[in-house]
Amino acid sequence: MDDKDYVIMKCASCDAKNRIPVNRVKDRPRCGRCRSPLNLSPGPEKVTDKTFRHAVIASQVPVLLDCWAPWCGPCRTIAPVLEELARDYSGRIKIAKLNVDENPETAARFGIRSIPTMLLFKGGREVNRLVGALPRAQIEQALKTLGI
């Protein structure tokens, strides 16, 4: 296996770094040091212009990036769905959120014109784009195209 077949997770209990094979993430892994269960995705990760490259482009798992704003009603409507997806697809995909008001550089780079817009990345490249407050089933259908 090469480096892309692993996910590095920090244990919330003892701060140890754990290298988990991607194909074993669904097995609910435990920390190698303290044996505590590893919570691979407690919820969507906050992404900024400064953290975008590391959090999205360099991610070892596919990423669904939600481009949103706090004043946007449809964005607030879809937030609980994304939190559920983060828990249900833990380790297989990273759910991330980018506030377009606070991070105009990344929003402009990807031509975000309406929100919510969800960008799907695999291998550091945008492979799909979903616009609007879509139902969970439609988002999951798009995730299946990533092989998840």
State the Cα–Cα distance between residues 148 and 139, nearest whole angstrom.
Answer: 12
Which conformational region is residue 36 in: left (phi greater than 0), alpha (psi within -120 to 50 degrees), or beta? beta
Q: Is 55 helix (H, G, I), strand (E, B) or coil?
A: helix
Q: Active-site positions?
A: 72, 75
Alpha carbon separation from 118 to 12, 32, 97 (Å, rounded) = 28, 35, 9
Report DSSP letters for 89-125, one per residue: TTTT-EEEEEETTT-HHHHHHTT--SSSEEEEEETTE
CA angle in degrees (0–180, nearest 5) for 135-136-139: 95
Number of C-alpha atoms within 13 angstroms, CB side, residue 32?
A: 8
